[in-house]
Homo-oligomer: A and B are copies of this chain.
Amino acid sequence: MSESAPETGANGTVTFVNRFTLHAAPEEFERVFAETAEFMGRQPGFLEHTLFRQLDKADGYLNIARWRDVESFRRAVAHPEFRPHAAALRALSTSESSLYTPRRTFAAAEASQRLE
């Protein structure tokens, strides 16, 4: 096991991954989540996010959000206007989250990607 904490990637971006388990209707959760995402999208350093639904578990969702750096992410979640969004999501779900740094990316040949 490495004794040192990992550094952020060469480009400094961090990826925030949040796994949700709903105790409310998915439609309600997605509506409230969209409001949170709209707030996050206005914060400096936000790059992009995708909300996913788990295929084999109706109450499972995953959010993957990419930020320019750790500091931008921390500023956004510490913002006073984030609090009501976090509370609204907590009222509908439990969640578990972690921050990650990219280590290695590999994409298929362009020909395959164009099938999207």
Contacts and interface: CB of A to CB of B under 8 A. Distances in A.
Contacts of A3: 58
Given A99-B55, A100-B54, A108 B46 contact: yes
Complex copy number for this chain:
2
Query: How many A residues touch the partner, as a band?
Result: 35 or more
Interface string A1-18: 111111010010111010
A108 B41 contact: yes
Residue in A17, A58, A61, A104 whose Cβ sees the most chain B Cβ within 10 Å: A104
B13 A116 contact: yes
A55 B116 contact: no
A107 B55 contact: no
